C-alpha cells in the first residue's frame, strides 16, 4: 500500500509539474506580445473643447467623445462608492484579480452550461482598465488571460487611486458621454460634485450596458438596475438604509443637456470660432484636445445686435408682401404628428410653427406644433389659437405667380393645412401674429476699435435657416461706405477738409470706352468742399478726387486699412465697386476711430490647452510694470500699444469730424436722435443691391449691410440711410444706455478755423454759413479760391482723360451711390 501510494504520488507530482510547465509555457506565450502598460502613465484621453463668451458663459462644446477629465481627488466619495459597489467592491483589497468573484463566476457559468445563457464575467476595475486601454473586447479565453496578466502588472506599477481615475475618466456611458465628468453633464446637466446618491447610482449602472438602461427607452429596467446599485451601497456600508430607501424612491430625473450653442444668438460667432481653431491647430486639436477658448463675444451686445438686425430685415420684408406658407400638410389624420415633423427655426424661439385649421373673413384658427419631451416624444396636448385679420395685415398683399396681389380676406391668403410661422401677442393666451422668414439678409459686426475684439456678430436672420455667415463670408460691394478711405488718403497727402472739388459732370476715357458716373440724385452741386462731398456722398467729387491724386495711392490706403489684400487701381473702385466683407470694413473704420493704428480683428482672446497653459493670446500689448511684485511709489503701469501706425492721428480726426457731419447734416441724420458724438457713412451700391452703414463712437465701431444673397435690387429709393442706418440706430440706442456721451479726441497741435462752407476759405467774423474745421500744423484754408477739376477755360471739368487702367467690365460694374 505504501509503495502504491508512493507510486500515485509520483505520478501526481509529475503531472503537476507537467501542468505547471505547460501553464508557464502558455503564460510565457501570452506575455510575448503584451501591450506596454507603461503608456497609462502618459494617458491623455480625447477631451471636450469648450468655448466661452467674454463673461465666462459657455457658448459651445466640440468633441468626438464628450469627456471632461477629472483627477480622482475631484470625484466625491459617494460617486466612487457607487461605482465600486456596482463593479468591484473589493477593488482596494485585491491584487488586480478578485479570486472570490472569479470562483463565483466559474461556478455560475458551469451551472448555466448548455442553457444558452450568456456567460458571466468577473472582471475587476483593473481588468477593465487593461481591456479598455490595451486590449480588444473579443470574447475569448485568450484575451481574458492576457487581461489578467496585465491587471497584475498594472497593480504593481500604479496606485489604486490612479487606476480608478483612469477607469472613471475612460468608460463610455451612452448618449455620447465618456468619463464621469461628461456623463454628469450629459444626463443631469450637473457637475460631478452636485450628483445625488440616486444619480450617482444610476450613472454607475450604465457602464455594464448603456443601451440596456436607457433612461427613456428602458426606464423601468434602468430604475431596477439603479436600485440594485443602491442596495449594494447599503450592503457595503457606503450609505445608510434610510438614505438608500430615500434614493430608491426618487425618479431617474434625467434631464439631458442640450447640445449646440449655449449663448443665445451666438451660433454664427461660435461657428466662426470653430473654423478658426481648425485653421490654427487642426480638427484633432478641436475635437480631442480639450482646449479652453475664451472669446471676445459680449452676450448682451450680441442679443441687441441680433434683435436690431432681425427687426430691420423683417420690416423691409413685410413691405414686400406675403410669399405663402412654409408647407402644406394633409389634415385627414392627426395634424399634430404631421406638424411635428416640420422643421422650424431653432434659434428664433419667439416663433412657433402652426397649421391653419380654418380661415374666414375675420381671421384664422390655428393649431400649434406640439412640444417634445426629453425623450423626443411629442406631447399629447394639441394647443390652438387664432390670428386676426389685423395681426396678418401685411399678408393682405400676397405673392401669386411672382406678382403681388391684394387679398380681401384672410381666407384668400391661407387655407386649412397650410403650415405657417406665428408669434404670440403680448399679454394674450391664444392670440398670435403671422410671421415669415425674410428673403433679404445681411450681416453685422460690432468691434472694439482699440483692440480689434469682435464684441457681436450677426451672420443673417437665422443660423438654423442658413449657416452662411454674411459678416465674414459674403463678398459684397461696399458702395459709398468706401469713400472715407478715399478721403482719408487725400487728407493724409496734402488735401484738407476745406479743399474744393468740382461736383459736376465728368467723363473718364479708358481706351476706346468712356465712363460717366452720376450722383445719386443725378445732379451736380458745383464747387464743394471735401466735407460737403462726404456728407452728401457725392460720386462725381469722389471720382475727381481719386483721379487727381491717383488710384495707386487710394489702393495703397485700402490695403493698409485691410479692406482688400490687393486692390486693382481702377477708377471705379473709388466708388466701392470692389467686393469685401463687413468684418474688413469694420476693421478699416476702426483705424479711423482709434487714431490711425492698424487693427487685427479677433474673435478669440485666449486659448489654453488641457493643462491650463496659454497657447494663444490676442492682446500683444506690452506692460513691463504689470509684473511688479510690490508697489514702491512707482507710477501706474501702462499698456504699450505696439500696433503699426497706418494713418496720421490728425488725419484720423479730420475724417472722423467729416463723418460726424454725415450724421449731423448728411445722409444719416436719423442718428442725431441718439444725442451723442457719432461718425459714420452710408453706402448704397449700383441698382440699390446693397444698403450699408458703418459708424462709430470713440469706443465702439458697428458696421452692417442689407441685401439679397443672390444680389438683386432692393427697390427704388432703398439706400443705406433709409435701411441700414435705422438698424445701427436701434442697436446703438440699446448698447449705449447708461453710457455717458464721449467726444472724439482732438490730437494736440491741431488748429480749428472758421471757414465758409461753400468756398472753403477762412470766414470773416459774423459771416453766415460757416463751419469750424480742423487743420494740421502748417496747413489752413486756401488764400485764394481754387477748384480741383475746374478746367483752365472755366469749364466744369468734364471730359478729363485717364490712362487706361481699368477694364470695361469694372467700369460697367463700378458704382457706390449714396
Residues with active-site annotation? 87, 480
Q: What share of the chain is helix, strand, coil (3-state, %, to 5)?
A: 40, 20, 45
Find residue 431's DSSP bridge partners. 386
- How far apart CA 263 and CA 57 sit, in angstroms, is 7
- How far apart CA 813 and CA 231 sit, in angstroms, is 78
SS3 label, residue 669:
helix
Contacts of 701 (CB under 8 A, 6+ apart): 446, 447, 448, 449, 586, 589, 590, 593, 694, 695
- How far apart CA 303 and CA 730 sit, in angstroms, is 12
The terminus-to-terminus CA distance of the chain in angstroms comes to 122
- How far apart CA 625 and CA 789 sit, in angstroms, is 54
SS3 label, residue 739:
coil
Contacts of 224 (CB under 8 A, 6+ apart): none
Check residue 778 and give left, alpha or beta (phi > 0: left; psi -120 to 50: alpha).
Answer: left
Residue 715, CB half-sphere, CA atoms under 13 Å: how many?
A: 9
Helices and strands in the chain: count of H runs, count of E runs: 22, 27
Tally Cβ neighbours within 10 Å of residue 583.
Answer: 23
Tell me which H or E stretch contains 132: helix 125-134
Give the C-alpha distances (Å, rounded to integers) separating 258 from 60, 185, 268, 311, 378: 10, 10, 18, 28, 17
Rounded to 5 degrees, φ, ψ at 786 are -140, 130
Tally Cβ neighbours within 10 Å of residue 336.
Answer: 18
- How far apart CA 48 and CA 69 sit, in angstroms, is 9
Contacts of 569 (CB under 8 A, 6+ apart): 550, 551, 552, 554, 555, 805
- How far apart CA 406 and CA 142 sit, in angstroms, is 80
Residue found by looking up cell 479743399 in the block: 499
- How far apart CA 629 and CA 633 sit, in angstroms, is 13
Starting at the edge strand that comes first in sequence, how are the strands of the sheet with 500-503 ordered?
526-529, 500-503, 787-788
SS3 label, residue 464:
coil
- How far apart CA 542 and CA 506 sit, in angstroms, is 11
SS (H, E, C) 11-24: HHHHHHHHHHHHHH
Tally Cβ neighbours within 10 Å of residue 518.
Answer: 14
What single string gives the DSSP state of each residue in 309-376?
Answer: HHHHHHHHHHTT-B---SEE---SS-HHHHHHTS---TT-TTEEEEEEEEE-SSEEEEEEPP-B-TTS
Rounded to 5 degrees, φ, ψ at 532 are -60, -35
What single string gives the DSSP state of each residue in 528-540?
Answer: EEHHHHHHTT-HH
- How far apart CA 135 and CA 144 sit, in angstroms, is 10
Amino acid at each position: 500500500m505504501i509503495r502504491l501510494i508512493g507510486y500515485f504520488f509520483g505520478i501526481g507530482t509529475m503531472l503537476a509539474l507537467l501542468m505547471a510547465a505547460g501553464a508557464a509555457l502558455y503564460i510565457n506565450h501570452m506575455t510575448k506580445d503584451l501591450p506596454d502598460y507603461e503608456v497609462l502613465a502618459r494617458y491623455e484621453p480625447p477631451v471636450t473643447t469648450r468655448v466661452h463668451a467674454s463673461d465666462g458663459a459657455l457658448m459651445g462644446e466640440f468633441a468626438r467623445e464628450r469627456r471632461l477629465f477629472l483627477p480622482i481627488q475631484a470625484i466625491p466619495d459617494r460617486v466612487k462608492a457607487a461605482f465600486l459597489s456596482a463593479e468591484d467592491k473589493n477593488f482596494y483589497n485585491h491584487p488586480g484579480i478578485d479570486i472570490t468573484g472569479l470562483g463565483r463566476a466559474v461556478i455560475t457559468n458551469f451551472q448555466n452550461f448548455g442553457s444558452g445563457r450568456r456567460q458571466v464575467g468577473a472582471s475587476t476595475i483593473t481588468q477593465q482598465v487593461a481591456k479598455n486601454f490595451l486590449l480588444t473586447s473579443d470574447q475569448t479565453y485568450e484575451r481574458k488571460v492576457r487581461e489578467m496578466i496585465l491587471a497584475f502588472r498594472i497593480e504593481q506599477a500604479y496606485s489604486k487611486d490612479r487606476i480608478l481615475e483612469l477607469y472613471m475618466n475612460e468608460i463610455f456611458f451612452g448618449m455620447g458621454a465618456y468619463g464621469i465628468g461628461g456623463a454628469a453633464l450629459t444626463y443631469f446637466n450637473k457637475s460631478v460634485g452636485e450628483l445625488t446618491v440616486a444619480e450617482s447610482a444610476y450613472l454607475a449602472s450604465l457602464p455594464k450596458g448603456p443601451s440596456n438602461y436607457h433612461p427613456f427607452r428602458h426606464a423601468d429596467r434602468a430604475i431596477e438596475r439603479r436600485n440594485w446599485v443602491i442596495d449594494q451601497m447599503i450592503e457595503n456600508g457606503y450609505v445608510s438604509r434610510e438614505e438608500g430607501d430615500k434614493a430608491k424612491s426618487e425618479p431617474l430625473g434625467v434631464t439631458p443637456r442640450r447640445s449646440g450653442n449655449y449663448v443665445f444668438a451666438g451660433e454664427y460667432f461660435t461657428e466662426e470660432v470653430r473654423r478658426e481653431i481648425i485653421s490654427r491647430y487642426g480638427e484633432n486639436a478641436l475635437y480631442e484636445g480639450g482646449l479652453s477658448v475664451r472669446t471676445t463675444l459680449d452676450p448682451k451686445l450680441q442679443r441687441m445686435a441680433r434683435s436690431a438686425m432681425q427687426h430691420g430685415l423683417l420690416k423691409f420684408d413685410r413691405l414686400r408682401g406675403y410669399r405663402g406658407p412654409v408647407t402644406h400638410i394633409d389634415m385627414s389624420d392627426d395634424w399634430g404628428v404631421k406638424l411635428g415633423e416640420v422643421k422650424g427655426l431653432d434659434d428664433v424661439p419667439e416663433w412657433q410653427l402652426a397649421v391653419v385649421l380654418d380661415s374666414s373673413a375675420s381671421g384664422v384658427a390655428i393649431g400649434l406644433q406640439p412640444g417634445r419631451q426629453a425623450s423626443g416624444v411629442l406631447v399629447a396636448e394639441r394647443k390652438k389659437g387664432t390670428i386676426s385679420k389685423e395681426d396678418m395685415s401685411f399678408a393682405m398683399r400676397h405673392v401669386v405667380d411672382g406678382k403681388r396681389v391684394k387679398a380681401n380676406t384672410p381666407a384668400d391668403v391661407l387655407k386649412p393645412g397650410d403650415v405657417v410661422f406665428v408669434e404670440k401677442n403680448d399679454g394674450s393666451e391664444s392670440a398670435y401674429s403671422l410671421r415669415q422668414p425674410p428673403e433679404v439678409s445681411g450681416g453685422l459686426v460690432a468691434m472694439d476699435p482699440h483692440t480689434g475684439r469682435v464684441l457681436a456678430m450677426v451672420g443673417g436672420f437665422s443660423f438654423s435657416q442658413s449657416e452662411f455667415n454674411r459678416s465674414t463670408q459674403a463678398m459684397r460691394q461696399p458702395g459709398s461706405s468706401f469713400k472715407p478711405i478715399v478721403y482719408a488718403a487725400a487728407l493724409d497727402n496734402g488735401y484738407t477738409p476745406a479743399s474744393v472739388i468740382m461736383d459736376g459732370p465728368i467723363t473718364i476715357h479708358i481706351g476706346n470706352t468712356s465712363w460717366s458716373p452720376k450722383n445719386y440724385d443725378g445732379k451736380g452741386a458745383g464747387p464743394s468742399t471735401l466735407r460737403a462731398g462726404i456728407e452728401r456722398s457725392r460720386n462725381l467729387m469722389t471720382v475727381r478726387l481719386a483721379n487727381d491724386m491717383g488710384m495707386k495711392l487710394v489702393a495703397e490706403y485700402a490695403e493698409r486699412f485691410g479692406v482688400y489684400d490687393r486692390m486693382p487701381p481702377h477708377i471705379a473702385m473709388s466708388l466701392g465697386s470692389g467686393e469685401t466683407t463687413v468684418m474688413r470694413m469694420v476693421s478699416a473704420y476702426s483705424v479711423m476711430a482709434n487714431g490711425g493704428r492698424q487693427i487685427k480683428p479677433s474673435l478669440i482672446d485666449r486659448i489654453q490647452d488641457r493643462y491650463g497653459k496659454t497657447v494663444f493670446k490676442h492682446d500683444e500689448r506690452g506692460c513691463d510694470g504689470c509684473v511688479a511684485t510690490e508697489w514702491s511709489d512707482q507710477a501706474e503701469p501702462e499698456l504699450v500699444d505696439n500696433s503699426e501706425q497706418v494713418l496720421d492721428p490728425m488725419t484720423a480726426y479730420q475724417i472722423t469730424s467729416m463723418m460726424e457731419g454725415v450724421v449731423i447734416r448728411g445722409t444719416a441724420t436719423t442718428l442725431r436722435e441718439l444725442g451723442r458724438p457719432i461718425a459714420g457713412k452710408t453706402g448704397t451700391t449700383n441698382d440699390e443691391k446693397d444698403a450699408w452703414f458703418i459708424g462709430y463712437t470713440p469706443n465702439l465701431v458697428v458696421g452692417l449691410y442689407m441685401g439679397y444673397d443672390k444680389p438683386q435690387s432692393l427697390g427704388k429709393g432703398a439706400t443705406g440711410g433709409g435701411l441700414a442706418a435705422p438698424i445701427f440706430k436701434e442697436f446703438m440706442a440699446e448698447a449705449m444706455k447708461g453710457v455717458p456721451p464721449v467726444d472724439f479726441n482732438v490730437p494736440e497741435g491741431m488748429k480749428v478755423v472758421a471757414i465758409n462752407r461753400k468756398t472753403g476759405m477762412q470766414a470773416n467774423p459774423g459771416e453766415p454759413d460757416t463751419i469750424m474745421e480742423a487743420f494740421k500744423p502748417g496747413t489752413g484754408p486756401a488764400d485764394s479760391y481754387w477748384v480741383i477739376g475746374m478746367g483752365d477755360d472755366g469749364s466744369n471739368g468734364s471730359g478729363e482723360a485717364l490712362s487706361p487702367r481699368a477694364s470695361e467690365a469694372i467700369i460697367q460694374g463700378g458704382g457706390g451711390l449714396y
